[in-house]
Chain A
Amino acid sequence: MTCLIKGCNFVLKNIPHEAFVYQKDADPEFRFQTNHPHIFPYLLVNIGSGVSIVKVETEDRFEWVGGSSIGGGTFWGLGALLTKTKKFDELLHLASRGQHSNVDMLVQDVYGGAHQTLGLSGNLIASSFGKSATADREFSKEDMAKSLLHMISNDIGQLACLHARLHSLDRVYFGGFFIRGHPVTMRTITYSINFFSKGEVQALFLRHEGYLGAIGAFLKGAEQDNPNQYSWGENYAGSSGLMSTSPELGPAQRARSGTFDLLEMDRLERPLVNLPLLLDPPSYVPDTVDLTDDALARKYWLTCFEEALDGVVKRAVASQPDSVDAAERAEKFRQKYWNKLQTLRQQPFAYGTLTVRSLLDTREHCLNEFSFPDPYSKVKQRENGVALRCFPGVVRSLDALGWEERQLALVKGLLAGNVFDWGAKAVSDVLESDPHFGFEEAKRKLQERPWLVDSYSRWLQRLKGPPHKCALIFADNSGIDIILGVFPFVRELLLRGTEVILACNSGPALNDVTHSESLIVAERIAGMDPVVHSALQEERLLLVQTGSSSPCLDLSRLDKGLAALVRERGADLVVIEGMGRAVHTNYHAALRCESLKLAVVKNAWLAERLGGQLFSVIFKYEVPAE
């Protein structure tokens, strides 16, 4: 029991989109919950052979409040006796094809048409198996299995509601191996909970329902190490998705996992927390578009990632020219990621809410699995070299401009720098074909104002006012972006008297700049520029890691150190640049302080969706409402 609860607390806190609500006729059917910071108290109904009901009040305080002997074992046992079917999943499969009304006595069977007197709907089951007490009929396996499933699910739902009511709880999580993401089961349980609680209690399922005990046992064993001091993430490469063992799936998808599920979790070295500047952490959802919801977008992005696969594989091989088996590993990566994409085509909900972020992250996890932790490292180094050489010149020409002109040039510099993103097909096509495509050209080619989203005038106005106390900047790409775009912008802020916290990825992703790379770049720039040099010395310019290794940004899971610094320095301006961090995620994020979200839209489809064209500019300056 202790292990069960430990495991449940763990998955609820650490795996994004672990819990979900299932609504049969809604689209999408699965609605995933973001990790609410306050998960307690809750009722856990664990359905194994039998049913255990546990009230969980805090991490360490929980109580077994009841149970039922009518659970998975009953379904399997009675099912085997009645239908001669030996396998659990086969029973579920039979049930999904059955008509329970042939076996059950419904209210309308007892009342004929008029059943309002009892206040019950005619379709309700009055007596399970009520019609089977007769020798003159045979009942089909499918019908009996369905009846059995309803009987058990309804009973469990009812008991759960009675306990929820007694303890004044409104959320019930279901764990255990009975449910297995099976739509019929989830539908019946959800219906049952709604019915018996008159809609007041919510039924939530867990993607990793069957692992709770095992995870708990592991955590207990690892107690010395204090696992709770770490943060954890789900590794999409090593984890099979929801329903991966469902008999409904085609053989291709089941090939790897066979008859069992896999869960792989990455332990992150440093704990992750909310950004203190989020306006309302419990309601914060990083992703801009829910691909489980938006079928058109989903189809587009899945195809996009499929088509980009060749390029990614080539890049991976090229990044390790001295390795004997790079080609072999790259092919394995291709196969693996391809299969993931196909799984997601069939079951978009396999890993929770499907988003561009999860597609990007899955790709990174797969690359890592086949020992391609940083395929762009050489590209980044080369571009950093080129950019550093151009740095003094860029700064000189900026300093020569008048104040107002310079502000625009700095912003354009940021935007132009952001064009240099190997992640975007449109850009990598150009960069592949024209290696001399330079910064100046990029600036010239930038969209003319008014931009697609254009709050520059308000930003300029703001700049005429007092300087910000401290700016938190989330950087995007290596090379031209960070060196010729971000650093001059940072330099200007420093000159105004604003402190700067420059946050970069903890681990590599595409050609995004990492924290360790940023340290090197900063040092090189400090060697060329006294402003940056003294800021670093006097700790007015601080370089931190975000805690993320993704091309996107989840502001609810940031490095604890970063959060502490933000509070300490009283950061009052947040700057987020790039498509991954400012458009695919956080486009609608609400902060408690001023924010700038900048990006050049390097995807034609997305640009069109937003109402513009390829290479449209987004410059979003927001001030919180009073």
Chain B
Amino acid sequence: MSKSFFPWFGLDIGGTLVKLVYFEPKDITAEEEEEEVESLKSIRKYLTSNVAYGSTGIRDVHLELKDLTLCGRKGNLHFIRFPTHDLPAFIQMGRDKNFSSLHTVFCATGGGAYKFEQDFLTIGDLQLCKLDELDCLIKGILYIDSVGFNGRSQCYYFENPADSEKCQKLPFDLKNPYPLLLVNIGSGVSILAVYSKDNYKRVTGTSLGGGTFFGLCCLLTGCTTFEEALEMASRGDSTKVDKLVRDIYGGDYERFGLPGWAVASSFGNMMSKEKREAVSKEDLARATLITITNNIGSIARMCALNENINQVVFVGNFLRINTIAMRLLAYALDYWSKGQLKALFSEHEGYFGAVGALLELLKIP
């Protein structure tokens, strides 16, 4: 039995998004309910009866894990996110709802746990328990994979990723998880090599991540949300923006096995004024997406080669609702590795850090 007081939260404060997991106990006895503090009840009600909070908070209902048993308690695990930009509002809410009186420990990971520690304390009167983000990430993934997704597989891959018609999302049984290359694509990217539950290392990272895609898109197209950026990208044609191998060679560059459709120079056509004037915002958005995604795939592939690992799991909120990127990663990894590497994805992609934080709270190893 956990000695932790409700509410049970796990917090992951990233560069762009705050991820929050909340365990809603469903096995509350009548006695417990009697003793329950008002503020705790109202928190539970607030979180579970809404799917949106304020103007930017979202609860991903489709990800809710039902009938989970955690530390002997049965309940549902909820997944909530909101922009880090609005964290002050969250802290303020915590103050207004008197969180501090609940004596709960806030387990938080991500850079923001450090950056906002003072704010939590001074404004919300809340003590944060800061946790290492990579530890939490690994813990979170392993746990979620073990409990599955309401009976379905957490982990999946794409068959025929390049073919719009034949492309299928299929479950993948991660029965031999180790070794694993974990590519976490948030604002930035971290790449980890995982050898066992307790043995992993950060191999490298790149600053060309989700934040870059979103940032560049905003500058190039004037879009304001991630959803908008992806929506534009889905309607664009990146080949108008990029210079392909066939644009330079007239076809394939056979000597080095470079297919004509490969991008030789991202945004390469934009050196010309006429072409700049001929592309649409959608084309630019698409090109940005393709460029960032291909680059991540490339780096991931090189790391996999150097570390001798052939399973690569891509997680992080860059991939949220981003089927284009996922399919591209799947295809690129398969193509350039000549089928040696497999790209895997996860339903709860961006929440693992927060889950890991929750597990720390509950001292679940």
Using CB atoms and an 8 Å cutoff, list the residues of chain A in contact with chain B.
1, 48-50, 64, 66-74, 76-78, 80-82, 86, 103-105, 107, 109-115, 117-119, 124-135, 139, 144, 151, 154-155, 158-159, 162-163, 165-166, 196
Contacts and interface: CB of A to CB of B under 8 A. Distances in A.
Given A69-B265, A73-B267, A76-B270, A105 B211 contact: yes
A110 B303 contact: no
Contact of B295 (A1, A124, A155): A155
B188 interface: yes
Contacts of A48: 265
Interface in B208-231: 208-212, 214-220, 222, 224
Most chain A Cβ neighbours within 10 Å, of B216, B241, B306:
B216
Nearest to B241: A77
B264 A117 contact: no
Contacts of B104: none
A128 B269 CA distance: 22
Given A50-B268, A158-B299, A159-B298, A105 B219 contact: no
A118 B114 CA distance: 12
B112 to A, nearest CB: 7
Nearest to B257: A64
A71 B110 CA distance: 32
Interface of B: 14-16, 110-112, 114-117, 132-134, 186-188, 190, 202, 204, 206-212, 214-220, 222, 224, 241-243, 248, 255-256, 258, 262-271, 273, 276, 284, 291, 294-295, 298-299, 302-303, 305-306
Contact of B133 (A68, A103, A117, A135): A117
Contact of B220 (A81, A104, A117): A81
A49 B243 contact: yes
Which 7 residue pairs spanning A and B have beta carbons closest together?
A77-B270, A112-B115, A127-B211, A73-B265, A77-B267, A110-B111, A129-B215
A108 to B, nearest CB: 8
Could you tell me the dominant secondary structure of chain B's interface residues?
helix
A74 B265 contact: yes
Contacts of B211: 105, 126-130, 133
B151 to A, nearest CB: 36
Contacts of B262: 69
Contacts of B267: 73-74, 76-78, 81
B112 A110 contact: yes
Contacts of A126: 15, 111, 187-188, 207, 211
30 contacts: A49-B264, A49-B268, A50-B263, A50-B264, A50-B265, A70-B291, A76-B267, A77-B267, A77-B268, A77-B269, A78-B267, A105-B211, A113-B114, A125-B207, A126-B188, A127-B207, A127-B210, A127-B215, A128-B215, A129-B212, A130-B15, A130-B188, A130-B215, A132-B218, A133-B211, A151-B212, A158-B206, A162-B306, A165-B306, A196-B204
A127 B212 contact: yes
Contact of B306 (A71, A151, A166): A166
Contacts of A73: 243, 264-268, 271
A119 B134 CA distance: 12
Nearest to A104: B207
Contact of A130 (B16, B204, B266, B298): B16
